[in-house]
A and B are shown apart, each in its own frame.
Chain A
Amino acid sequence: MTGKAKINIEHLDLYIGKQHILKDVSTQIPEKKITVILGPSGCGKTTLLKSLNRLTDLYSNVKVSGKIFIEGEDILHTNMDITEIRKRMGLLSQRPYPLPMNIFNNVAYGLRISGRTNKIVLRKRVQHYLELVNLWDEVKDRLHDPASSLSIGQQQRLCLARGLSVDPDIILADEPTSALDPISSEVVEKKFIDLKSQYTVVVVTHSLQQARRIADYAIFMYLGEIIEQGPASEFFSDPKEELTKSYLKGLFN
């Protein structure tokens, strides 16, 4: 691996009820790079992503063992407040889920709950993040419309702005373009590449083409296990495992 590891996962096992969802997962996610988690649906990649900010706490009957270090802090066994951990990671989900508020407040909400309530500052920050995702020009005249009135692609960019607003250093994205049209997808992908100079980006995807386009580091999962991982250049050109080879050839999905 090149560069510093931002996230360090050691022997992570996760059960939901009796189902073994993640099996002895160990990996290191490099800082300020795009890491792509690949694999057929149901392989546990989304669960792995959600473990990173402990959204798995929401599931009933869940049992987790192992360690997840983020900058040296084991978030599974920490005294830190869970909300503080989550704030360090922006989440982008499969479909955009705007909050039931207007466009402005969708971005301002995260800022407000972390204590920034000065009106002028809020307005500046909201504009900043909306500009960051190339949305400002499209919405600046209708900031007080409900967020649901935007197109799906706009909504997803709004959600990205919302995620960035709480100043995270990691972005978690769960198949962020699967519900989007090709043009919006491209915008989101480009944004990830821009963002990696400041952020550590983890993207779950089942689109091989997308993974090839954006990945710096790739992780391939199958049935809850990591089959192969490595820098994207090696991973895609010279896979070691048979399973990876046939997946990359598109033999199964």
Chain B
Amino acid sequence: MKNGSKYSLDFERPLKELEKRIEEIRLFAEEKQIDMSEEIARIEEKARSLQVEIYKNLTPWQKVQIARHPKRPTFLEYIDLIFHGFIELHGDRLYRDDPALVGGLAYLEEIPVTILGHQKGRDTKENIYRNFGMPHPEGYRKAIRLMKQAEKFGRPLITFVDVAGAYPGKEAEERGQGEAVAKAIKEMTGLKVPIVVVITGEGGSGGALAIGVGDRILMLENAYYSVISPEGCASILWKDASRAAEAAEVLRITANDLLAVNVIDEIIPEPLGGAHTDPEEMARTMKERILENLNAILDQDPDALLAQRYQKFRRLGRYLEE
């Protein structure tokens, strides 16, 4: 593991125990000056197949934990690995700059694009500065400003969704959180440039959808996207937030579930052990998938693009009609 071994997840414990044993044997062999490389290789192989087994059968709740992993790569890390020449643009021109939502100009290969994404902190200090990646209305209004700017200059828009939810706070309400989220959604449905959305971690309800409307919706293998947090659902359904794991099952929030109902278009595979174990590999795959999807819609007539986008979101509901 290259990264993140400090924060192990519950279901990885058997794996961690094997890794610990390997380390012990290695130390022992070194100390006693004996060759145990065969034994070590044997256990390493066992660990590897155990990891494959664990990650092949992840439950929805385990995926939620991976999506929320404190070492999961954030938007700024992906920007460095996927784009070049990034210039951050700040502020909504109305109230303040919201560090929980980052946006600006960048090149994807040689294509100039506008990028937007939720930005969580990578440590406690940064998390406080970035409000744990939960935007206030001014974050969404900055997003709207940059969307309109992208449209004006004919730049495609690429967004990265990773948010527990739009911030639920007193000031957020005073400044119109609901209106800001709604306006962002509405602007995206009518924006006359191609939009590629990547759900990289948490897809927390309206706060995610506010930058999540597009022509191509891609989703990382272990990300989740839901109308309500599993904890919130559990406390409504069973008056018990600790039953979140069950709620995660019934809400159908994994990438596979969402692909099945056409809410997303494509699943982007993660490195074994999750995106945090190898951010470079993750970014390489993401870049390739974003490029292919963007290229497919880059030269489409804007009216045709908008008509398709309209039908895409028009047809997602399931209902009965006599």
Do the two chains bind? no
B residues near A, CB below 8 A?
A: none
Taking Cβ atoms with an 8 Å cutoff, the residues of A that contact B are none
